[in-house]
Amino acid sequence: MNLAPYHPSKDDLQGAGDYDAPRGKDNVWLVVRAAVKVQSKENEDWKVIKKLFHVDAHFNEGQMVKEMTLRFDFHCHSTASDGALSPTELVARAAGAGVEYLALTDHDTLAGWPEAHKAAVDLGVQLIPGIEISVQWESRELHIVGLAFDPAHPAIVELVAYQQEARVNRAKKMGERLDKAACMTDAYRKASELSGQVAPGRPWFAQILVAEGKARNDQHAFNRFLKPGQSAFVKTPWLTVEQAVSALTEAGGVAVLAHPTRYGLTRKKLRTVLKDFTAAGGRGLESLTVGLNPNQKMLVEECLRDFDMLASGGSDFHTPRQTWLELGKVPPLSEMHTPVWQAFPTAYQPVATS
Ligand SMILES: [Zn+2]
């Protein structure tokens, strides 16, 4: 896709209703967005444009055109954590879906980075370092997506080592508990073998439970054994918000609060989280995700504005079995948002807009 700034001619700006498709679909978007710039938001034409082209964002300047047409995804998982696709398969699928700018954000690990990086170079996808870190806030577990940090920075290496150790201990304990509670033998070893990981997460244990007939399906396994309050749930001593954010920041990256509407927090609680998160140096909010209801959308917009945060987004893709998700399927940025990549180091700025 040609991402050069579009300079509309006089003719282009006569009235949005007059536009047809002389330049192909992608360019029509640019024309339409350019046209909006010279018209008031109350203009009837704007409503027509919105309807015809599903434009969900206002347009500002040439720079903004490029940013808004950039196809990005800053939240997805590979087999290096709990995803179904290998890093290579994941990057290939992203490329196939038209993603130009990608972060692989496996849980508490960078194990998939070298392979994903190679695939991204081969396939012409711009890959930036990413990770999803589990943290503890009060008695809850929250997730922080780290983006565009130096993966070899000692603060990151230390962070990953700590989280991995916590995960290994948790997996071993979970296995012991399942051996008792579900009358299994060697649940840890089996989950470990199945996943190829020393720290298999709960989805792997769920699979074992189903395979051995201890649960009807994954959801049943979670409800019966694995979710908080059940016999095999093990609370993990994750890093605090402050520790995770400061490691990411020290390594030159940006900390983003992942899926803010998925923790079951009230508006008030979420605002308290964000107060602490931003005080610690967290700057991004994962506001661009599909599936938010109108109230959740409003809440996220309010938080972006009130806490002066950068908009990030991603699919949280784990497996092709989640047919409602796809890599790169992220709502568009609007001019009210500042994209998270504006805070990235130059080397990780989007190639298409630099
Ligand atoms: Zn995730």
Query: Following DSSP, what letter does each residue of 290-336 receive, concatenated?
Result: TT--HHHHHHHHHHHHHTTPEEEE---B--TT-TT--TT--PPP-TT
Indicate whether 133 belongs to any domain: yes
- What are the tokens at 86? 């290998």
Q: Ligand 1: distance of its center to the CA of 178 in Å?
A: 25
Residue type (1 letter), 55: V
| Three-state SS at 73 | strand
Indicate whether 239 belongs to any domain: no
Q: Ligand 1: distance of its center to the CA of 211 in Å?
A: 25
Q: Ligand 1: distance of its center to the CA of 27 in Å?
A: 33
Q: How many domains does the chain have?
A: 3
Return d(Cα 83, Cα 37) in angstroms, integer.
Answer: 42
Q: Ligand 1: distance of its center to the CA of 258 in Å?
A: 8
Nearest CA to 148 among 87, 105, 94, 95? 105
What integer pLDDT is reported at residue 332 of this predicted model? 80
Q: Are residues 140 and 175 in the same domain?
A: no
Query: Following DSSP, what letter does each residue of 25-64 receive, concatenated?
Result: HHHHHHHHHHHHHTS-TT-HHHHHHHHHH---S----HHH
Q: Are residues 107 and 183 in the same domain?
A: no
Q: CA-based diameter of the chain, in Å?
A: 76
Q: Ligand 1: distance of its center to the CA of 9 in Å?
A: 44
Indicate whether 137 belongs to any domain: yes
Q: Ligand 1: distance of its center to the CA of 209 in Å?
A: 23
Q: Do residues 188 and 180 make contact, with C-beta atoms less than 8 angstroms apart?
A: no
Q: Ligand 1: distance of its center to the CA of 102 in Å?
A: 14
Q: Are residues 127 and 90 in the same domain?
A: yes
> What is the CB neighbour count within 10 angstroms for residue 306?
12
Q: Ligand 1: distance of its center to the CA of 74 in Å?
A: 10
Q: Tell me which DSSP letter residue 353 carries.
A: G
Q: Are residues 208 and 259 in the same domain?
A: no
Q: Are residues 326 and 348 in the same domain?
A: yes
Q: Which residues of the chain have pLDDT under 70?
A: 1-69, 335, 352-354
Indicate whether 232 belongs to any domain: no
Q: Are residues 177 and 110 in the same domain?
A: no
Q: Are residues 257 and 341 in the same domain?
A: yes
- Residue the block writes with tokens 């940025």: 333
Indicate whether 17 belongs to any domain: yes
Question: Which residues, in sequence order, are bridge partners of residue 131?
Answer: 146
Q: Ligand 1: distance of its center to the CA of 317 in Å?
A: 7
- What are the tokens at 100? 């130009």
Return d(Cα 31, Cα 20) in angstroms, integer.
Answer: 10
> Which tens digit of pLDDT belongs to each residue from 260-280?
999 999 999 999 999 999 999
> What's the whole-model pTM score?
0.77
Return d(Cα 317, Cα 198) in angstroms, integer.
Answer: 23
CATH number of the domain residue 127 falls in: 3.20.20.140
Q: Are residues 130 and 186 in the same domain?
A: no
Domain boundary pick from 20, 48, 69: 69
Domain boundary pick from 226, 244, 261: 226
What integer pLDDT is reported at residue 68 of this predicted model? 54
Indicate whether 138 belongs to any domain: yes
> Which residues span the domain enclosing 218?
162-226
Indicate whether 301 belongs to any domain: yes
Q: Ligand 1: distance of its center to the CA of 337 in Å?
A: 22
- Residue the block writes with tokens 């579900």: 182
Indicate whether 143 belongs to any domain: yes
Q: Do residues 276 and 137 make contact, with C-beta atoms less than 8 angstroms apart?
A: yes
Q: Are residues 32 and 79 in the same domain?
A: no
Q: Tell me which DSSP letter residue 76 carries.
A: B
> Which tens digit of pLDDT belongs to each residue from 74-93?
999 999 988 999 999 999 99
Nearest CA to 286 among 65, 72, 33, 59? 72
- What are the tokens at 280? 């610690």
Q: Are residues 257 and 336 in the same domain?
A: yes
Domain boundary pick from 32, 52, 69: 69
What integer pLDDT is reported at residue 334 of this predicted model? 74
Q: Ligand 1: distance of its center to the CA of 143 in Å?
A: 8
Q: Ligand 1: distance of its center to the CA of 130 in Å?
A: 11
Mark 127-152 as b/e (b = at least 16 C-beta within 10 Å). Answer: bbbbbbbbbbbeeeebbbbbbbbbbe
Q: Are residues 40 and 169 in the same domain?
A: no
Q: Are residues 25 and 104 in the same domain?
A: no
